[in-house]
Amino acid sequence: MLQKLGFHILNDITWYKPNAAPNLACKTFAHSHETLLWAVKDKKAKHIFNYSIMKNLDNQGDCFKNVGKQMRTVWAINSAPKSEKTFGKHPTQKPLMLLTRIILASTNDGSVILDPFNGGGTTGLAANIIGKRQYIGIDIEEGFLDLTVNRIEQVQKQKRLIG
């Protein structure tokens, strides 16, 4: 659909979840990955890619990431831990580490980040933790926006404490 609409796909990334839940029915493989599509509006559109930051990023437990080597398109990141669900949870909440990597890779200071499917607000949270970015989140469910506000307020409180 993206390509039909004229978008140009830069990469598709496999997010592998080492801690994915087992398949209890045992009749198919255990689902343990999701696909990220990184696309621009058209072939000529410019994009941000912070190559060196990605190359030198700590592997943070990602068995596919070698520090100092080009970042590849398979990322091993566990699904969101309990510690990221202290204000309640969203059924498909993404891990902070995943969104932090995406934002560090593809935005700069001053970037405006839009997530039209905000959910639990992990994109906004990562943008706030990294800082110097503006975030706009949209969700059809008001409760998820409340959850997001609570999560972001906690980050801002911690930032004030650190000074």
- Residues binding ligand SAM (CB under 6 A): 90, 92-94, 117, 119-120, 122, 138-141, 144
Q: Indicate the pairing of strand 74-76 with strand 8-16.
A: parallel
- Please give the full DSSP string across 89-144, using - where no structure is assigned: --TTPPPHHHHHHHHHHH--TT-EEEETT-TT-HHHHHHHHH-S-EEEE--S-HHH
Nearer of residues 66 and 92 to ligand SAM, judged by Cβ? 92
C-beta nearest to ligand SAM: residue: 119
- Strand, coil or helix: what is 12? strand
CB of 23 vs ligand SAM, minimal distance in Å: 21
Cα three-residue angle 74-77-82, rounded to 5 degrees: 160
Distance (Å, whole) CA 73 – CA 22: 24
CB of 4 vs ligand SAM, minimal distance in Å: 20
Nearer of residues 42 and 141 to ligand SAM, judged by Cβ? 141
CB of 150 vs ligand SAM, minimal distance in Å: 13
Nearer of residues 90 and 133 to ligand SAM, judged by Cβ? 90
Angle between helix 122-130 and 142-162 (nearest 10): 20
Q: Give the other-Cβ count within 10 Å of 102's Cβ.
A: 20
Nearer of residues 12 and 42 to ligand SAM, judged by Cβ? 12
Nearer of residues 45 and 112 to ligand SAM, judged by Cβ? 112
CB of 125 vs ligand SAM, minimal distance in Å: 8
CB of 27 vs ligand SAM, minimal distance in Å: 26
Across-strand partners of 33? 16
